[in-house]
């Protein structure tokens, strides 16, 4: 029987368990240079010590104005590689594999003087007015993603995740709500994402998995649902995505009638639907902190991996404690064996 602590292998990614640390921004680059700090090192390595099988480093941006805030990580410069490599190497030494989420915030870049977007549509009345990227700038943005992925490979990451969810730039391009362009990138809403995928794959070893996080459902009036997201995910799969990380929302102020669920596992049905529609491995995320619930998602074959967010913020040893609660065997560090 497959469970939360069964090993998982996909291409060259070999995980000791199905526990994933979800990418969560720390907003802790105090020098505003995009370079990971001692905080990031402690934050991620402690989760490796704590038994997490797969750690996905937070949203890391392809250019300075692609950050949500100036305190975010970046990979637009070779100078940003060594600090990330130090984290990856240390996590590896404690048995965890590490991915990184490559992204651009688009119109949600709060500290950019003038954010960029597919179309000049602000997130809400309190957000900055973005300008629409020219066609040439869109093509240049694809190359910025390519360069960031190449740097991530140099840093030794085990997998790459492209952020196509939560209302950030790739999501903005494939959503009819935010893409009103008249050029080729408006005529084919997945073109931008597909070109980024193809650029990323060209820089990655052939046996390295490419993950994409998508919002499988929007929560605004006129937003897309699971049928539409299954279609664009299929286009991304054909372009080269190996595994999908299934979230939802983030595209705009939530409509009163469309609020997302607040109950445990409310996004799991979306992950299951994408998994079944595309025959592709998926990561489920969202209020899965209870070990029994996370274990059931794997055991019931609703997802292949389970991403834990807030639970791992509260407790870096969530995986070790989950194994203890579920009476599963896991590799407790010898220094901590008396605690388990």
Residue 257 confidence (pLDDT) above 70:
no
- Cα 164 from Cα 108, distance rounded (Å): 13
Average pLDDT over the chain, rounded to whole?
97
- Longest Cα–Cα distance of the chain, Å, equals 64
Which tens digits make up the pLDDT trace of 135-156? Answer: 999 999 999 999 999 999 999 9
Query: What is the DSSP code (8-state) at residue 77?
Result: S
Residue 256 confidence (pLDDT) above 70:
no
- Cα 56 from Cα 287, distance rounded (Å): 17
Looking at residues 22-31, what average pLDDT do you find? Answer: 98
Region of 239 (left: φ > 0; alpha: ψ -120 to 50; beta: rest) is alpha
What's the pLDDT band for 1 if we cut at 50, 70, 90? confident
- Cα 223 from Cα 219, distance rounded (Å): 6
Which tens digits make up the pLDDT trace of 164-223? Answer: 999 999 999 999 999 999 999 999 999 999 999 999 999 999 999 999 999 999 999 899
User: Which pLDDT value is given to residue 254?
Assistant: 74
User: Which pLDDT value is given to residue 112?
Assistant: 98
User: Which pLDDT value is given to residue 261?
Assistant: 74
Residue 268 confidence (pLDDT) above 80:
yes
- For 46, phi then psi, to 5°, come to -65, -30
Looking at residues 103-129, what average pLDDT do you find? Answer: 97
What's the pLDDT band for 258 if we cut at 50, 70, 90? low
User: Which pLDDT value is given to residue 185?
Assistant: 98
Q: Are 208 and 155 in contact (CB under 8 A)?
A: no
- Cα 73 from Cα 88, distance rounded (Å): 15
This prediction's pTM: 0.97
Name the percent of the chain lying above pLDDT 90: 95
User: Which pLDDT value is given to residue 90?
Assistant: 98
Residues 6+ apart with CB under 8 A from 134: none
């Amino acid at each position: 029987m497959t469970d939360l602590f069964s090993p998982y292998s996909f291409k060259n990614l070999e995980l000791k368990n199905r526990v994933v640390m979800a990418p969560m921004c720390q907003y802790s680059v105090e020098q505003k240079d995009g370079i990971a700090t001692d905080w990031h090192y402690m934050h991620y390595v402690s989760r490796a010590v704590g038994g997490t099988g797969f750690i996905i480093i937070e949203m890391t941006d392809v250019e300075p104005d692609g950050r949500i805030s100036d305190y975010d990580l970046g990979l637009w410069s070779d100078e940003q590689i060594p600090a990330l490599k130090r984290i990856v190497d240390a996590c590896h030494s404690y048995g965890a594999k590490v991915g990184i989420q490559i992204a651009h915030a688009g119109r949600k870049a709060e500290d950019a003087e003038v954010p960029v977007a597919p179309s000049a549509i602000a997130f809400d009345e309190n957000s900055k007015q973005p300008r629409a990227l020219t066609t040439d700038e869109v093509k240049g943005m694809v190359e910025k993603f390519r360069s960031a992925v190449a740097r991530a490979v140099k840093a030794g990451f085990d997998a790459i995740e492209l952020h196509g969810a939560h209302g950030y730039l790739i999501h903005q391009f494939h959503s009819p709500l935010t893409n009103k362009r008249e050029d080729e990138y408006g005529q084919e809403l997945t073109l931008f994402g597909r070109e980024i995928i193809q650029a990323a794959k060209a820089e990655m070893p052939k046996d390295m998995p490419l993950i994409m996080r998508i919002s499988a459902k929007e929560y605004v009036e006129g937003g897309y649902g699971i049928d539409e997201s299954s279609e664009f995910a299929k286009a991304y799969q054909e372009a080269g995505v190996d595994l999908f990380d299934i979230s939802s929302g983030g595209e705009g102020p939530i409509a009163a009638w469309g609020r997302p669920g607040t109950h445990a596992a409310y996004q799991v049905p979306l992950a299951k639907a994408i998994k079944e529609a595309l025959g592709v491995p998926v990561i489920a995320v969202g209020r899965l902190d209870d070990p029994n619930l996370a274990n059931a998602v794997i055991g019931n074959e609703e997802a292949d991996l389970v991403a834990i967010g807030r639970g791992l913020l509260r407790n870096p040893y969530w995986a070790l404690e989950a194994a203890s609660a579920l009476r599963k065997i896991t590799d407790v560090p010898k220094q901590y064996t008396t605690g388990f």
